Amino acid sequence: NIVGDLFFVVVLKTGVKGAAIATVLAQIIAFVICWIYMIKRYELLRLSWDDFKEAQPQMIQSMLSAGLSMGFMSSLINIGSLTLQTAINKLGQNIIVAHTAARKISEMFMIMFTVFGQTMATYCGQNLGAGKYERIRKGILTSILMGWVWCVLCVITSYTIVPAFVKMLISSDNRNVIDTATLYLRVDSLLYFVTAMITIIRNSLQGIGDRLTPIISSGIELAGKVVITFTLVPLMGYWGVIVSEPIVWVLMVIPLIVQLIKNPAFARGKNN
C-alpha cells in the first residue's frame, strides 16, 4: 500500500484518487498472494463444494454470532471516534493537522495490540474446543505481558524520536503542530498498558464464547466519547481530546477484567 501510494500520488501526481486506487490494488494483490500461498502450502484449507454442503446449522449460527458481535463492536468504536472528531474539527487547522498526524502514529503503535487480540480470539476458541483451559489462562496472561513490553517501547519512542516522526508526516517545521501532536502521544502512550489489556481481553472473551461483554465495553467507549465531546472539549480545548481516550480506556477495561475473572474457562485454567 505504501509503495502504491508513493507511485500514484508522488510519481503520477493523481492525488486522493491515486491513493484510493493504490489502496484497492494493494488489497487485491495481497488477497491473491495469500490465497495462492494458502492453497499451495496448506492442503487442509483447500476448499471444495463438499465443504459447503457439509456445513452444520449450529456451526453457521456460532460463526454468525461471533462475526456479528465483532462487527457491532467495531462499529461502536468507530462511531465514537467520529463523534469525537466533530469536536476536534472546531479547534482550528493546526489542531486538526496535529491530531491527524498523532493518530497516524498512534495507529502504528496499536497495530501490535490488534495482532495480539486477533491471535487470542483464535487461540482461545481452539483451546476451548479442546478443553485445554489452562492454556487459555496462560495464553491470555502471556499475551498481556507481551503487550506491556511493546507498550514500554511505545512510551520510549514517544519521549524520544516522536517529534521527528510528526515532522516527517506533516512535511513542515510548524512547531505548534509538532508540539501538540507530541503532547498527545506522550500522554496517551502512558495508558497504552490499559489499551493492550482491552484489546487482548475483549478478543479473548469473544474466543471463549462471551459475545455480550465486548459489546458493552465498546458501548462504554461510544458513550464516553459522546459525553466528552460535549463537556470536556468545550471546557478544556484540545486537552479534553488528549485525556478523553485514557478516561474511556479505564472505564472500558473494568467490565472486561471482571467478566474474564468470572468466566468459567479462564477460572478453570487456574485449577488445572
Instruction: Please state, in angstroms and rounded to a whole number, the distance separating the CA atoms of residues 153 and 148.
Output: 9
**Mapping DSSP to helix (H, G, I), strand (E, B) and coil, where does residue 139 land?**
helix
Region of residue 146 (phi > 0: left; psi between -120 and 50: alpha; otherwise: beta): alpha
Q: Is 35 exposed, middle or buried (0-12, 13-18, 19+ CB in 10 A)?
A: exposed
Q: Is 181 exposed, middle or buried (0-12, 13-18, 19+ CB in 10 A)?
A: buried
Q: In the prediction, which pLDDT does 212 show?
A: 86
> pLDDT tens across 157-214, in order?
999 999 999 988 887 889 999 999 999 999 999 999 999 999 999 999 988 988 888 8
Q: Is 94 exposed, middle or buried (0-12, 13-18, 19+ CB in 10 A)?
A: middle
* Cell reading at 50: 463438499
Cell 489489556 belongs to 197
pTM summary value: 0.81
Provide the 10 A C-beta neighbour count for residue 47.
9
Contact 182, 103 (CB under 8 A): no
User: Minimum mean pLDDT among 1-5, 23-27, 240-244, 267-271: which range?
Assistant: 1-5
Contact 167, 152 (CB under 8 A): no
> pLDDT tens across 53-89, in order?
766 777 777 777 777 777 777 787 778 778 888 888 8
CA dist list (Å): 102 to 66, 108, 167: 32, 10, 11
